[in-house]
Amino acid sequence: MAFKSDFAILGRPATDLRGKTFGRLLVKEKEKARPEGGNLKWICVCSCGTESRVYGHSLMGGRTQSCGCLHREKMKTQFRTHGKRQTVEYTVWSNMRSRCNDPNLADYGGRGISVCERWSNFNAFYEDMGPRPSPKHSIDRINNDGNYEPSNCRWATLTQQKRNMRRNVVATINGERLHLMDAASRLGLCHSTLTLRIKRGWPIERAFTAPKHTRI
């Protein structure tokens, strides 16, 4: 009966695990009480020096053999073996290269956007960009017409990227070069109205100067 360690079955006392070792864990004593109730755990000392509390059945069943350090060490070794090939940064790097090498992709390879020489090496890319800050971030070119290179790339959220895209559209109004968003707010125009007008092929001057409610 493997599960008897934690319970007193039919009045029999639970197995005493004190002094026994399970993997890296040496059992010291049983908890006196659990603050949240439930089954009592055994207080163990791991060979790395960390104290941990484990259920008797986890110890006896061989499921828990350390404070967690064993698992961490295994993961580390695995990571080293596979390098960064399984990381999200590697996928980003690899997709970036495919986009730029594809002459059929109008927004990338097709219009001559390329990856700098240095970044043909993943390690150099990772060194410059660092880890992706969060799953919401993706690689973003600061200047949309520029290449993938350290000075023109950053991790950015979709919101940041949209703002950046708008910022890249420049219009000259009364001799002043303005980014689309700045120009729109200065003229009291709604940004989406302005974008739509430009998309429909309105001359820039008219797009900015036509009254708010002109039909598009």
> Binding to Zn ion (CB under 5 A): which residues in 64-103?
66-67, 69
Interacting stretch for Zn ion, rule CB under 5 A, among 33-41, 43-51, 157-165, 186-194? Answer: 43-51
Smallest gap from residue 156 Cβ to Zn ion (A): 39
Write a three-state SS string for the chain: CHHHHHCCHHHCCCCCCCCCEECCEEEEEECCCCCCCCCCCEEEEECCCCEEEECHHHHHCCCCCCCCHHHHHHHHHHHHHHCCCCCHHHHHHHHHHHHHHCCCCCCCHHHCCCECHHHHCHHHHHHHHCCCCCCCEEEEECCCCCCECHHHEEEEEHHHHHHHHHHHCEEEECCEEEEHHHHHHHCCCCHHHHHHHHHCCCCHHHHHHCCCCCCC
Smallest gap from residue 68 Cβ to Zn ion (A): 6
Q: Which of 9, 12, 39, 48 binds Zn ion (CB under 5 A)?
A: 48
Smallest gap from residue 125 Cβ to Zn ion (A): 35
Q: Which of 15, 21, 43, 50 binds Zn ion (CB under 5 A)?
A: 50
Interacting stretch for Zn ion, rule CB under 5 A, among 32-40, 41-49, 164-172, 187-195? Answer: 41-49
Q: Which of 25, 27, 44, 46 binds Zn ion (CB under 5 A)?
A: 46
Question: Rule CB under 5 A: which residues touch Zn ion?
Answer: 46, 48, 50, 66-67, 69
